Structure 1
Amino acid sequence: MSGSGRIDEKLASLKDDQYSWSLEYFPPKTSEGLANLFPRVQRMVSALSPAWINVTWGAGGSTRESSLELASRIQKGIFDAQDDWRGNGSGGCDVCLHLTCTNVTHESIAAVLEEAKSLGIRNILALRGDPPRGDEYHVESESQLAHATDLVRFIRKLHGDYFCIGVAGYPEGLVDHGESDIERDMANLRAKQEAGAQFIITQLFYDADALIAWYKAIRKHGITLPVVPGIMPIQNYHSLRRMANLCHLRLPPTLLESLENVRLDDALVKDLGVSVSTALVERIRQETDIRAFHFYSLNLEKSVTRVLQQVGAMSETAMSEAWDEFPNGRYGDSRSPAFGEIDGYGASLKLPPADAIRLWGTPVDEDDIGNMFAAYVQGTLSCIPWCDIPVWDETAQLLPSLIRLNSPPSKGGRGWWTVGSQPAVDAASSTDPTFGFGPAGGFIFQKAFVELFISDEDKQRLVERIAKDPSVTYFAGTADPDSFESNVADGGVNTVTWGVFPGYEIAQPTIIEELSFRAWRDEAFAIWREWEQLHHPRSATRQFIRKVHDSRWLVTVVHHDYKDPNALWKLLTE
């Protein structure tokens, strides 16, 4: 659909027997990923005819330029990455641009709204964004933009009724400060309506009963805004568990049981995800008057298309055999439209401030940090700033080495803090409970690698040691974006996990190369800054974390002899 249609008008025009749907995309972290997203969006707009498309907005405006570029191209129908994205196009789709108000100024929000208006965008999803990390995040003059309700009022004040404004709804309750409060959520949603909001898009959910009960409850509370349920087809087992942890989702026991039965086969997990999403849509259509659904695509194509086919919203169409249909996060191919954070919202701690301080304390020296990392790899700490889920089963094989690497020198360790690792694997079965993935009958291979924060002196010594072993490659960088070292030739790629399956091309789900390393390096050091801001500006903890941020290197080391499971760990610990 082209033009500058408002979402409230689209929803109001639906007849009783009509349904509509929308799609959501996030800006990939690399320019290659963004360029490759354009043709995917074009295919999906053409094949699926969404009523509108949402474009996400990184915390604190961190994705401003890429979000606006993506939104403009979609609005104007300019999907050739080589074109001037401010030119004229055809075949576009109405856009709903996300905006967050936490940790930004009135002036920056006003500038974005003017830019959106100049691009012909009529729809805004007003979100609070990540909660404040500390008093320094807000100055007195900005206190009016602490919540999504404030943002709705601010948009209305500046632009009257020009923008159609949507807000978020939480069928299972918004967990804030470590707890959920349904009555508080209802009051907040009512306040958003009174401030001028015109529709609600819900957080993802997998419990239809919860959505239906919540929908009935908000109507009893006098909330009359049209509701668009947010549906996210499950793409793989680990991404779902991570998202459940991040969003505090309740996963029904029957769903968890079904997932456990197929979790090693990514294709079967995706099939299950399509079935679950289809059932959610059909149940909600049967038991409510809701007639629009929003799909969180994760920048992927097939699952959403299959759901819409199964609910009868569209006819069977040929789907592209895309080379990156499985989410690959920061370890995948940096050219992928799905490369980057699972939600596209950028670096954040994924925890309320009170929980983060309770878990990680107030470190003032390197021993404190080393003890935290060592506790995490041993499983006595549930998460660290860079890893928001417990360590995976395969880490057990590396435990002695990881403990030695992470522990402080005062405890016999190296004081090297690891944020990612995997052991070497030589032809494990694809059904292996620890290393397996993909269909049965295949074999899995892995090269050992590790990612760690180390001092400048230790980095120099490690690089000297690596120079003596042709089987080892590395990437290294500091918080300075121009800082980069590697012994990998320009354009070189390290495939560190691959699978061989009957009747399929070789799958390469884990790739480490310069572009993906640089993207992760930027995020990893941004997380130090996020953690720093939990603490008072003059505190010893904040000053120490800033010192670490400024002085440490992030280094990724890959050992290519996957037949020797101890090769990398001997190099690092000897």
Structure 2
Amino acid sequence: MKLIDKISTYNSSHPFYTFEFFPPRTDQGFGNLLPRIVRMANLNPLAISVTWGAGGNTKDTSLNLAELTQSEYRLDTILHLTCTNMEKGMVDEALRAAKESGIHNILALRGDPPRGKEEWLPVDIKFQHATDLVRYIRSHPEFSSSFCIGVAAYPEGHPDHLADEETELNLLKEKVDAGADFIITQLFYDEDRFISWFEKVREKGINQPILPGIMPIQTYQSFARLTKLTGSKVPLQIMSDIDAIKHNDQLVKDYGVELAVKMIRRITTETDIPGVHFCTLNLEKSVQRVLESLRWIGYSPQVVPNKLIEEPTSEHVLPGTITPVSAASVAALGLINIPASETEAGSGELNKADSWDDFPNGRWGDSKSPAYGVQGPWGNNDAVNQGTISQWGNPKSLEDLTTIFLQYLHSEINTTPFSSDPIQNESRLILPHLQRLTEHGWWTVGSQPAVDGVHSSDPVVGWGPRTGYVYQKSFVEFFCTEEDVRMIEKKVAEKGDGWVHYYAANSKGECRSNVPDDGRNAVTWGVFSGQELIQTTIIERQSFLAWKEEAFSIWLDWASFYPPASQERKLLEGVHNERYLLNIIHHDFKSKEALWTFIFDA
């Protein structure tokens, strides 16, 4: 059903709400997201939305997920769709696939603009702005009456340009006049600014329903990264509050719930917004707690998928719950490849399925998590842009690249293409080792020190609830030559004694490892009062390969900012083509020096 029709007939004592999900980067993450969406369907959202990666890089998984939620779960689904950097014909293909799946709602977005002089990427010149996409759908006989169209709004200004507020309002009016039915805003935390902007929107004659984007703060790291990415203007009081508790993950999560409740209560009281849009980051507990605090959770008939729900095998299934989706039934659709035994609800990690991934620690997380590979809002997750490359100059040699990575380690620059944030205090604990590796031409992009039962309140390595202890195995990840990989392999075989695991892969698809295909290395875990052991960081083949694809694409992104045939471009493309990404884990977490002694002996 079209969202605008559901909004016009919505009748309740409280505003409606919608949930936003993104397709995880791994099959297991995808498989575990499905039962999470089913559980969250019991919260009775008016609709859900599925994000679309920049340039269509999640095209297949976005369409698969949207098809499942729409046709199998009978959840009215909004498919996000970007138009720039999309290969010619991809927009039509996506719209036809959505229509065939019974999807009636599209969120039309501009997406990332072409980077630098990216001449090698074909671009359909018909689509340069979201307005072009809205106008195209409305004018196309095949699509015009099929879709309800939403567009994005930016109460604090678009992060990619510095247009004044009046210009931004005019751009929004253009999208609405082109045929948009509803508006979803970028996330924000400044209620005063949103309310002022909302009033100006209405004064502009824009009367379409506006859904404010609300993202409950999940972790300090994700909050800092996403507000930076979106350009959100966070009030000083909120920044002060968060900064005071940033080392206590549970308090940050609790604060995020309280702040979201406060914001929603005020903006629903002082404006005529009909509903709110939750950026869930594929997590469920915080959104549920917000709705419980607002007393918005209703008890309408449950949503039951057409084919994916298996019959209950126990007489103790509670009324009003949805039977979990099995991996076998999902895999049977031919959409993803998941071993059924690893994703059945009610086994292992999924016994606490609503919260087992609440405390992701670092980039890796767990590739089984529905939140694995979290992206920025609406698929925009760029580390390389025109603003950041100015820090890195014009590298023309391998030595120049080594200098850039050393400058980052020494805090002379704040970013690298592989990290959008300054070097962390945790990395400073092993800084001499990272410097030594980098000086050798092994450019480090990920690492952590060994930690043996440090209190979870520790300001540097602590995480999770404050009543516990955390542990870490040391690992390091860097780019190197094939000869270096062979040398490490030889060293591991001769002197690893079962303590050292490694993964090495290149851009051509080769992966070398001494870890069994089904091996999973827990490198961060915590023990807390009244809880099961929590494993927040897992390194295994699937997660490494998912990150490897992104890591090598970053070299090409970086190269694209330099002219074809330039020394810089040849250098960066050469690194992409010739180097390996190598990850080395040492399992002796009781020794702070075990990993480094092993590597430097090599």
Question: Alpha carbon RMSD of aligned pairs, Å?
Answer: 2.1
**Closer, same or farther: CA 138–185 of 1 in aligned 2, 3 Å:** farther
TM-score normalised by length of structure 1: 0.91
Q: Given residue 511 of structure 1, which amino acid in structure 2 is its aligned partner?
A: I
Q: Given residue 501 of structure 1, which amino acid in structure 2 is its aligned partner?
A: F
| 1:301-312 equivalence runs, <5 A | 301-312=284-295
Deviation at 1:276, TM superposition (A): 0.7
Deviation at 1:148, TM superposition (A): 0.9
| 1:92-491 equivalence runs, <5 A | 92-137=74-119, 142-158=124-140, 159-177=143-161, 179=162, 181-314=164-297, 321-327=354-360, 330-343=363-376, 349-353=382-386, 355-406=387-438, 413-467=439-493, 468-470=495-497, 471-481=499-509, 483-491=510-518
Deviation at 1:480, TM superposition (A): 1.8
Match of 1:38 among 6, 13, 34: 34
Q: Which residue of 2 aligns with 1:72?
A: 67
**Closer, same or farther: CA 30–532 of 1 in aligned 2, 3 Å:** same
Q: Given residue 286 of structure 1, which amino acid in structure 2 is its aligned partner?
A: T
Which whole-Å CA distance do the structure 2 matches of 1:346 and 1:541 have between them?
28
Which whole-Å CA distance do the structure 2 matches of 1:104 and 1:321 have between them?
35
Judge conservation of contact 1:175–1:181 (CA < 8 Å) in 2: no
| 1:423-572 equivalence runs, <5 A | 423-467=449-493, 468-470=495-497, 471-481=499-509, 483-572=510-599
Q: Deviations over 1:345-368 (max 9, x none)?
A: 668533542x13312222221111
Deviation at 1:379, TM superposition (A): 1.6
Judge conservation of contact 2:468–2:528 (CA < 8 Å) in 1: yes
**Closer, same or farther: CA 513–65 of 1 in aligned 2, 3 Å:** same
Deviation at 1:399, TM superposition (A): 1.5
Judge conservation of contact 2:212–2:276 (CA < 8 Å) in 1: yes
Which whole-Å CA distance do the structure 2 matches of 1:148 and 1:469 have between them?
55
Deviation at 1:275, TM superposition (A): 0.5
Secondary structure in structure 2 of the residue aligned to 1:22? strand
Secondary structure in structure 1 of the residue aligned to 2:383? coil
**Closer, same or farther: CA 516–105 of 1 in aligned 2, 3 Å:** closer
Runs of 4+ in 1 over 6 A off after TM superposition: 138-141, 316-319, 344-347
Secondary structure in structure 2 of the residue aligned to 1:196? coil
Q: Given residue 470 of structure 2, which amino acid in structure 1 is its aligned partner?
A: I
Q: Which residue of 1 aligns with 2:9?
A: 13
Secondary structure in structure 2 of the residue aligned to 1:165? strand
**Closer, same or farther: CA 345–31 of 1 in aligned 2, 3 Å:** farther
Which whole-Å CA distance do the structure 1 matches of 2:480 and 2:406 have between them?
15
Which whole-Å CA distance do the structure 1 matches of 2:244 and 2:402 have between them?
37
Which whole-Å CA distance do the structure 1 matches of 2:478 and 2:75 have between them?
43
TM-score normalised by length of structure 2: 0.87
Which whole-Å CA distance do the structure 2 matches of 1:113 and 1:260 have between them?
44
Q: Given residue 402 of structure 2, which amino acid in structure 1 is its aligned partner?
A: G
Judge conservation of contact 1:474–1:487 (CA < 8 Å) in 2: yes
Q: Percent identity?
A: 44
Deviation at 1:549, TM superposition (A): 0.1
Q: Given residue 380 of structure 1, which amino acid in structure 2 is its aligned partner?
A: E
Specify every segment of 5 or more residues in structure 2 that has no aligned partner in the other structure, as ranges: 300-319, 322-351
Judge conservation of contact 2:190–2:234 (CA < 8 Å) in 1: yes
Q: Deviations over 1:394-420 (max 9, x none)?
A: 1111112212222xxxxxx20111111
**Closer, same or farther: CA 141–513 of 1 in aligned 2, 3 Å:** closer
